[in-house]
Amino acid sequence: MLLFLTAVIWGVAFVAQSVGMEYVGAFTFSFVRCIIGGLVLIPCILFLDWLKGREKGKAGFGGADRLDKAQERRTLLTGGVCCGVALCVASNLQQFGIKYTSVGKAGFITAMYIVLVPLLGIFLKKTVGLKVWISVALAVAGLYLLCITEGFSIGGGDLLVLLCAFVFSIHILVIDYFSPKVDGVRMSCIQFFVCGLISGVGMLIWEKPDVHAILQAWLPILYAGALSCGVAYTLQIVGQKGMNPTVASLILCLESVVSVLAGWLLLGQKLSARELSGCALMFAAIILAQLPGKEKT
């Protein structure tokens, strides 16, 4: 239920992003959202540290432990910065793209990262089975129905969101590399602040930030920052604890379905029969890509 709630929060966040773009620029939205997300995680970190302190007591540590802690901090900072840069590129591509496409289409195209991650794994010398290639074929067919018009052209917004899915795939691989080595919540907090600061630079260079406009968009920005970034991430960590990762990922990918329903219920956006068929094919590809293969004996 916690993971399903996470998927709902993330799915509705596409609506918040779309509405927020009516008031502020993409960089401004990302800047404020990520700073709020980082601030929300600080109390979570302090609370988790307090729990760990109660479990471990007040045991001292020697010089070797201090060196290990210093190395861990360096790795944490490196991972947070790398994740933050990737998140900044991906989230701003998504933010620009969602201005020119529907919420439902953006949700499904973004979810393509689930299919793209195994493909990018080829460059890391990871094997890709027949199941993944079938998923890719289904996803490409779905993308064609969802995005390609009769004139064989793709909308600018759809293309930006597709690029966002590719960068999100890189972001996931970066997390996969660093997360076993460091505290996940701390790294997420750092990545939000890094993403926010870089977006802030873009905001000052290419946009004209207006406090009045930001206050007008307070609800979608607060939702995207506090709930989508801070609360949903924490729910994901708690919900995934001790759970089968395949089942967890299948539940989380429901965010793409929620995005379509949220766009329809909250914004009145509708998809044609052709576009819904594309969504169905892409959702089948997403599920197939995550199903476990046969264990080798």
Please report which confidence band the pLDDT of residue 75 belongs to, taking 50, 70 and 90 as the band edges: very high
One-letter amino acid of 70: A
What's the rounded Cα separation, in Å, for the pair 214 and 223?
A: 13
Q: Which of 137, 104, 84, 130 is nearest to 17 (CA)?
A: 104
Mean pLDDT across 266-275: 88
Q: For 154, list phi and psi in degrees, rounded to 5.
A: -115, 140
pTM: 0.85
pLDDT at 58 over 80: no
Q: Which residue has the higher pLDDT, 290 or 65?
A: 290
**What are the residues whose beta carbons fall under 8 Å from the beta carbon of 65, sequence distance 6 or more?**
none
Q: Is the Cβ–Cβ distance between 248 and 240 less than 8 Å? A: yes
**In 10 A of CB 69, how many CB atoms?**
11
Q: Which of 187, 193, 184, 284 is nearest to 236 (CA)?
A: 184
The region of weakest confidence among 13-27, 42-56, 96-110, 157-171 is 42-56
Q: Which of 223, 216, 203, 196 is nearest to 12 (CA)?
A: 223
- HEC assignment per residue over 176-241: HHHCCCCCHHHHHHHHHHHHHHHHHHHHHHHCCCCHHHHHHCHHHHHHHHHHHHHHHHHHHHHHHC
Best-predicted range by mean pLDDT (61-75, 153-167, 282-296): 153-167
Q: Is the Cβ–Cβ distance between 24 and 214 less than 8 Å? A: yes
Q: SS3 of 22, please?
A: coil
Domain boundaries, the chain: 2-53+70-290
Q: For 148, list phi and psi in degrees, rounded to 5.
A: -80, 125
